[in-house]
Chains A and B, each alone.
Chain A
Amino acid sequence: AQSVTQPDIHITVSEGASLELRCNYSYGATPYLFWYVQSPGQGLQLLLKYFSGDTLVQGIKGFEAEFKRSQSSFNLRKPSVHWSDAAEYFCAVGAGAAGNKLTFGGGTRVLVKP
């Protein structure tokens, strides 16, 4: 069975500082990996996705993520955080097949200090 672990429940970062969110997955085949962001009271928005090819993928809002197969990780990074990045971030893994059923991690809540 597939699973996703996000080890950090909360992260506090100063505005302008860099941010890295960790994601570890367990999946038997080639994973389809995703990062979603959820602002308070909102639905989820896709930040980026990885299926194959270059292991460093760029997303929206200045985010990037790196796929490391040897470590079963797909960490999300942003070089300089803005106050508007305060939100909850979810890593997810899917099969990519018909009916792309996603398994989500528990989420990491990011607080941004001025």
Chain B
Amino acid sequence: NAGVTQTPKFRILKIGQSMTLQCTQDMNHNYMYWYRQDPGMGLKLIYYSVGAGITDKGEVPNGYNVSRSTTEDFPLRLELAAPSQTSVYFCATEASGNYEQYFGPGTRLTVT
């Protein structure tokens, strides 16, 4: 039982490159979330999903895209990387009605 896994752990991108941050869970939770954490700041919600095929924007969605084709996977796509997207990205899951979010270990992304 791995819980929430995120890959890669670290990544350096050049401006304008694209990449996908992977998030996979084996807890059969319906809800999944993507947050970013900037240095010295709290987490901000980028996108979330309440089930396969259903996604919605959070507080800071610009520059990102998501998809949810299965319960297990919730990838986050950066199309044209910008320095402002340098951050640590966390994926989280939640069983519907439980209100407790379980976080992955994070992906540290640097855009230069």
Mark A residues whose CB is within 8 Å of B.
4, 6, 9, 32, 36, 41-46, 49, 51, 90, 92, 94, 96, 98-107
CA distance A99 to B95 in the complex (A): 10
A-side contacts of B100, CB under 8 Å: 46, 49
The complex places the Cα of A73 from the Cα of B105 at a distance, in Å, of 29
Structural contact, B99 and A106, CB atoms closer than 8 A: no
The verdict on A96 contacting B41 (CB below 8 Å), with A44-B90, A101-B48 known, is no
The answer for the CA separation of A4 and B60 in the assembled complex, in Å, is: 17
Q: How far is the CB of A32 from chain B (nearest CB, A)?
A: 6
* Chain B residues within 8 Å of A94, by CB: 99
**Chain B nearest Cβ from A11, distance in angstroms:** 15
Q: B53 at interface (Cβ–Cβ under 8 A)?
A: no
Residues of A within 8 A of B96 (CB): 98
Give every chain A residue within 8 A of B45 (Cβ-Cβ).
Answer: 101-103
B contacts with A: majority SS: strand
Instruction: Report which of A99, A103, A107 forms a contact with B50, defined as CB distance below 8 A.
Output: A99
Please report the total number of B residues contacting A with Cβ < 8 Å.
Answer: 26
Q: Are A106 and B56 in contact (CB-based, < 8 A)?
A: no
Do B101 and A105 touch across chains, with their CB atoms under 8 A apart? no
The reply to whether B42 and A106 form a contact with Cβ atoms under 8 Å apart is yes
Q: Are A107 and B42 in contact (CB under 8 A)?
A: yes
Q: Does B103 contact A (CB under 8 A)?
A: yes
A99 to B50, CA, bound (A): 6
* Chain A residue with the shortest CB-CB distance to B98: A100
A90's nearest neighbour on chain B, judged by CB, is B42
CB distance from A67 to the nearest CB of B (A): 15
The residue in chain A whose Cβ has the minimal distance to the Cβ of B106 is A43
| Docked complex Cα distance between A36 and B100 (Å) | 10
Please, what's the 1-or-0 string for B1-39, where 1 marks a CB less than 8 Å from any CB in chain A? Answer: 000100000000000000000000000000101000000
* Seed contacts A41-B105, A44-B103, A103-B59; 11 additional CB < 8 Å A-B pairs: A36-B103, A43-B90, A43-B106, A44-B43, A44-B90, A101-B48, A103-B45, A106-B40, A106-B41, A107-B40, A107-B41
